[in-house]
Amino acid sequence: MNLSNITPAMGSVKTNKRLGRGTGSGKGGTSTRGHKGAKSRSGYSRKIGFEGGQMPLQRRLPKFGFNNINRVEYKAINLDTLQTLAEATKATKIDLAALIQAGFITKSQLVKILAKGSLTAKLEVEAHAFSKAAEDAIVAAGGSVVKL
């Protein structure tokens, strides 16, 4: 074997179609585009959702629902999550920085503490919102609540 007889693997190299190079090539004349019409011409691109003149799906279906521009969306953190975080870090204060460090939230998210699970650690918890049951559980465990 030498450089003069090396060939690519079978099927790895394809010859490209030579369009519009005479009728003898088998791909002359219309260059595999059929006869006339927009699709046969250069520069053709179909609009997204175009269905051949039929009323497109997105116009057949009615508008639906309502998006409230004033909605405030919170990232929910449960008491059992706070408990495991307190045990892992041996912290007495859990604030946004601690939650970001642990990977539970990003810095742009708002946090609401919910009451799923139980809390035994005495914690000072800092968040944007608390459910009533979560607030009661934190205070009952000897901790305190700080609303931002």
pLDDT digits (tens, 9 = 90+) for 7-41: 999 999 999 999 999 999 999 999 999 999 999 99
Residue 116 forms part of a structural domain: yes
Residue 79 is assigned to a structural domain of this protein: yes
d(CA 141, CA 129): 18
Total domains in the fold of the chain: 1
Residue 126 lies in a domain: yes
Per residue in 121-144, pLDDT (tens digit) is 999 999 999 999 999 999 999 999
Q: What is the dihedral of CA 13, 16, 22, 26, to 10 degrees?
A: 70
Give the helix ranges, DSSP H, for 23-105: 57-60, 79-89, 96-102
The model carries a pTM of: 0.60
**Residue 119 is part of which domain span?**
74-147
Helix and strand element counts for the chain (H, E): 4, 6
Contact of 112 with 142, CB cutoff 8 Å: no
Q: Does residue 30 sit within a domain? A: no
